[in-house]
Amino acid sequence: MARTISLKDSGRFKDPANLTWERYVALQARERERYLAERATIADDALNYRTVSPRYLERAVDQFANNYYSELSATHYIATAAANAPFDELKKCCLFQVADEQRHLEMDREVFERAGIPERDWLPAWEAPGTTCRFFRHLLELDDTIEILVKGNFVAEGAAGPGTFAVLADGAEARGDVFSAVNHRARVRDETRHISFARVLVKALIEDDPANLDVIQKWQDESLQLFVEVARGGERRAWWEGFLASYYKIALPLGLRPSSLPI
Ligand SMILES: [Fe+2]
Ligand SMILES: [Fe+2]
């Protein structure tokens, strides 16, 4: 089976957000302003993690690492996708996403810093079992734009979409971590756009050549398999269920089948 697929008729892909450089720059500026305004409403003690329990912080390091390093990975793999993009409309979407992910990365870096977690502890938390590290390291090895977008945007972001970020935001807020909650709610507005263009791309690929569905199915199965370890142990059950539900909601209508995942 072919490992690489292409969109023979690139006219089938159109950015669903219909962004131009001018519109994107205006949107980014608005988003940043809105984010800063929301952050400004957080009391200083809460913003600096003086109101959460020490136990919360101890357990949250894993989650902070999952947020920070997945955004760091995203800035890299989406830059590769932009560099190798087969046509301009797709390149444009990838380039805008580079800027989005960069902003998410900054937010998550600030969480680590304000929470007072020494930088030497960040990477070990990410490399520990049960994180999304294995998936993102796989993505960073790829150089094919279509494969990166299917695995990174369609599968991973499609899964980690609105549903799971809501779970994360509500969970953080309930434990007094208002800053993480604001961050999750800000990032989800961009991720929704990343998912939308990937969805349009997948739909176009399948319409272009129905045989592409088999390759996309394989990429989906590989990706979800790399995520399974995050669900093991049962601690992240609500997260995992929301994760699969978000993804299948966009994937099944396009003809993909659920993956069989031994948990
Ligand atoms: Fe992001
Ligand atoms: Fe994203």
**Residues near 142 by beta carbon (within 8 Å), at least 6 away in sequence:** 77, 80, 148, 151
Element (H, E) at 36: helix 21-40
Nearest ligand to the C-alpha atom of residue 101: 1
Is the pLDDT at 2 greater than 60? The verdict is no
Q: Is 233 left (phi over 0), alpha (psi -120 to 50) or beta?
A: left
Ligand 2 center from residue 24 Cα (angstroms): 15
* Alpha carbon distance 97, 197 (integer Å): 10
Q: What is the pLDDT of residue 25?
A: 96
* Alpha carbon distance 185, 219 (integer Å): 28
* Alpha carbon distance 199, 176 (integer Å): 35
End-to-end CA distance of the chain: 27
Ligand 2 center from residue 174 Cα (angstroms): 25
Q: What is the pLDDT of residue 263?
A: 63
- With b for 16 or more beta-carbon neighbours within 10 A and e for fewer, the 42-62 pattern comes to eeeeebebeebeeeebeebbb
Ligand 2 center from residue 65 Cα (angstroms): 16
Nearest ligand to the C-alpha atom of residue 194: 2
pLDDT tens digits for range 90-129: 999 999 999 999 999 999 999 999 999 999 999 999 999 8
Transcribe 58-100 into DSSP letters.
HHHHHHHHHHHHHHHHHHHHHHHHHHT-SSHHHHHHHHHHHHH
What share of the chain has pLDDT > 90, as a percent?
84
Whether the CB-CB separation of 216 and 206 falls below 8 Å is answered with yes
pLDDT tens digits for range 12-61: 999 999 999 999 999 999 999 999 999 999 999 999 999 999 999 998 99
Ligand 1 center from residue 199 Cα (angstroms): 17
pLDDT tens digits for range 75-86: 999 999 999 999
Q: What is the pLDDT of residue 98?
A: 97
Nearest ligand to the C-alpha atom of residue 70: 1
Ligand 1 center from residue 174 Cα (angstroms): 23
Ligand 2 center from residue 12 Cα (angstroms): 22
Nearest ligand to the C-alpha atom of residue 69: 1
Ligand 2 center from residue 53 Cα (angstroms): 30
Kindly state the DSSP code that residue 216 receives in the 8-state scheme: H
Nearest ligand to the C-alpha atom of residue 198: 2
Ligand 2 center from residue 122 Cα (angstroms): 21
The three-state (H, E, C) secondary structure of 172-194, written as one string: HHHCCCHHHHHHHHHHHHHHHHH
Please give the residue that has the higher pLDDT: either 198 or 189. 198
**Residues near 48 by beta carbon (within 8 Å), at least 6 away in sequence:** 114
Whether the CB-CB separation of 10 and 87 falls below 8 Å is answered with yes
Ligand 2 center from residue 199 Cα (angstroms): 13
Q: What is the pLDDT of residue 240?
A: 84
Nearest ligand to the C-alpha atom of residue 105: 1
CB count in 10 Å sphere of residue 252: 11
